[in-house]
Amino acid sequence: MDPNLPRWVQASISLIFQTVATAEAVEFFVEGVDEETPAAFQRDSILLRVNGPTTLRSQSDSYSIQIQIVITTLSTQKVNSYDHFQRCGVLASKLEESLPINRYGNGNSLVGCLSPDRGSRDIVKITHFGQVDDAVKVRQSAVLANFELHL
């Protein structure tokens, strides 16, 4: 594995979903990169977590990558109770696409594209946690997707 690959994957995916978060007008955090403060969670938010790349057993130049996105919606800010579910759908739709991975920090050229893992039981999965605290009107869901990268 090229030692830069994890950085390229993280940076590329982060930039893609930063664009989605901006379009959705929500806070955006990347786990392990951004410093979240309690004040930041006073608004609707999207938290991105990337697992991998993991080398696939069958080929040394093929990798699996899992993307997890946690969506938090403050019910007090919403006029439409279905906005939270709509946001989950927007993210799930983006995760059904091929996602380009670029050499950010090393010339920015294309490394390859993440392709949805068609061999996975769940290519994209939405899980709703509902209201996670009785005292606070907050809804949370997660959108998970499995990808492969073949170099």
Neighbours of 69 (CB within 10 A): 26
Locate all alpha helices (DSSP H) within the chain, ordered by sequence. Answer: 5-24, 83-95
Using DSSP, how many helices (H) and how many strands (E) does the chain show? Answer: 2, 7
Give the helix/strand (H/E) hosting 124.
strand 124-133
pLDDT cut 70: percent of the chain above it: 91
Fold type of domain 5-150: STM4215-like (3.30.2000)
Longest dimension (CA), the chain: 50
pLDDT digits (tens, 9 = 90+) for 55-107: 887 777 899 999 999 998 886 655 677 888 999 999 999 999 999 999 988 78
SS3 19: helix
**Residue 15: what pLDDT?**
95
Helices 5-24, 83-95: axis angle to 10 degrees equals 150
| Spans of all domains in the chain | 5-150
pTM check: above 0.85: yes
Rounded-to-integer distance, Cα 138 and Cα 136, Å: 6
